[in-house]
């Protein structure tokens, strides 16, 4: 007997991810999903090598975002709350302006 597991099936299981078809990044805030319920690159010795490529792509994207745009806080004097770490009370909304060439 062989047993096959599909990460896609787990990722779309409403028991682990309510409204799995809905784009909801907030589901990964805090402690995030339960262990082994979100494994987009697999795990162990046969983990997808694309994991490091994806991580590198995100770093390159962030580099260009920081270097090519001026960042301005939308709420300049926003209150800071401590819960347990100091964070802006309303997140950190920003406006991005392209640097002038």
Decide if 95 contacts 72 (C-beta within 8 A): yes
β-pair partners for 86? 82
Are 36 and 11 spatial neighbours (Cβ–Cβ below 8 Å)?
Answer: no
CB atoms within 10 A of CB 27: 16
- Residues at the annotated binding site for heme? 48
State the binding site: 48
Please state, in angstroms and as integers, the Cα–Cα distance from residue 80 to each residue in 31, 48, 49, 92, 95, following that order. Answer: 22, 40, 40, 10, 19
């Amino acid at each position: 007997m062989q047993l096959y597991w599909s990460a896609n099936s787990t990722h779309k299981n409403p028991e682990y991810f309510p409204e799995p078809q809905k784009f909801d990044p907030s589901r990964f805030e805090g402690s995030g999903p339960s262990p082994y319920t979100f494994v987009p690159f697999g795990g162990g010795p046969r983990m997808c090598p694309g994991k490091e490529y994806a991580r590198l792509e995100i770093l390159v994207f962030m580099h260009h975002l920081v270097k090519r745009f001026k960042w301005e806080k939308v709420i300049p004097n926003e209150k800071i709350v401590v819960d347990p770490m100091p964070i802006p009370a309303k997140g950190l909304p920003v406006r991005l302006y392209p640097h002038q060439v």
